[in-house]
Amino acid sequence: QEYTALKLEVKEWAAKAQSKVDGINGKVFFVPATLRPETMYGQTHCFVGPAITYGIYEVVKDETYFFISERAARNMAYQSIFPAGWGQYKKIASLTGADVVGTLVHAPLSVFNERGGGGIRILPMESVKASKGTGVVTSVPSDSPDDYATMMDLVKKAEYYGIKKEWAEVGDLLPIIETPSYGNLTAKFLVEKMKISSPKDVKQLAEAKDLAYKEGFYQGKMIYGEFAGKSVEEAKPLVRQQLIDSGEAFAYAEPEGLVVSRSG
């Protein structure tokens, strides 16, 4: 699986995380892995698994650090992503997802940074898998049914999740991609049409995701951003390359076999 790993710079740590990051000089980035770089304009949140243990790993001392799962750090160490030697990586802090909920990060290309006072919030998502990607997931509720269902649940049960309601509530979603069957907010359309009422409706969400991927890729047309007017198929590699060229993203490959053997 070839992902685009995106760099979301921390602007303000959540109170619970502060004591654990006190000694760090330089920039820390949350690094979600995505298959949909062309949707990055619509990132509203970034999700972590509250019970997952993450690390902050050194990329360049006193300059750059990544917040990712241990498993992702190990994989990255074999892809020349850390300048240290082959297979080498250095963890400088250990935190749970719950520790970082509420942290404000700047998401490349997202229009929601402005609405959120310079960034988007890190929020909890129960279905984040530690065994996939980086364990960090960027949320695009306009185009990802899982993200839409999770966001609605976070708004509805903010107190239960221990978050501020206004962190989850972001106002009108941004239409990015138009498709003939599902309009310009594919995820919202599918979640409502399939009567998905909770992030726990996993079977229906898997089906909705499948439909959203296929329709978006084969029929989708960009209606926002620099590549508006182009098909999703054309725009996807262009947005990806733009993010890589600007230093806001990098390629991250996941060895398929390892994903299967380490999950569960």
The residues of the shown chain that bind ligand ZZB, judged by CB under 6 A, are 33-36, 39, 128-129, 132-133, 135, 137-138, 140, 143-144, 209, 212-213
Least distance between ligand ZZB and beta carbon 142 (Å): 7
* CB nearer to ligand ZZB: pick between 36 and 106: 36
CB of 149 to ligand ZZB, least distance (A): 12
Tell me the closest approach of the beta carbon of residue 129 to ligand ZZB, in angstroms.
4
Nearer to ligand ZZB, 103 or 139 (CB): 139
| d(C-alpha 59, C-alpha 57), whole Å | 6
CB of 115 to ligand ZZB, least distance (A): 18
> DSSP character for 183?
B
Q: Give the separation between CA 76 and CA 74, rounded to whole angstroms.
A: 5
CB of 36 to ligand ZZB, least distance (A): 4
Q: What is the DSSP string of 125-191?
A: -TT--TTSTTSEEEE-TTT-HHHHHHHHHHHHTHHHHTS-HHHH---SPPP-EEBTTTBT-HHHHHH
Closest contact distance (angstroms) between CB of 212 and ligand ZZB is: 4
Residue with tokens 């978006």: 216
The H or E element that residue 123 is part of is strand 120-124
Q: Please name every residue paired with 128 in a beta bridge, in sequence order, or none if there are none.
A: none
C-beta closer to ligand ZZB: residue 39 or 179: 39
Q: Which C-beta is closer to ligand ZZB: that of 33 or that of 81?
A: 33
For ligand ZZB, the closer of residues 15 and 261 by Cβ is 261
**99 vs 15: CA distance, rounded Å:** 8
The CA distance from 45 to 96, in Å, is 17
Question: Of 65 and 71, which has the nearer Cβ to ligand ZZB?
Answer: 71
Distance CA 57, CA 92 (A): 6
Question: Do the beta carbons of residue 53 and residue 96 sit within 8 Å?
Answer: yes
- The helices-and-strands tally (H runs, E runs) of the chain is 11, 14
63 or 234, CB closer to ligand ZZB?
234
> At closest approach, how far in Å is the CB of 98 from ligand ZZB?
16
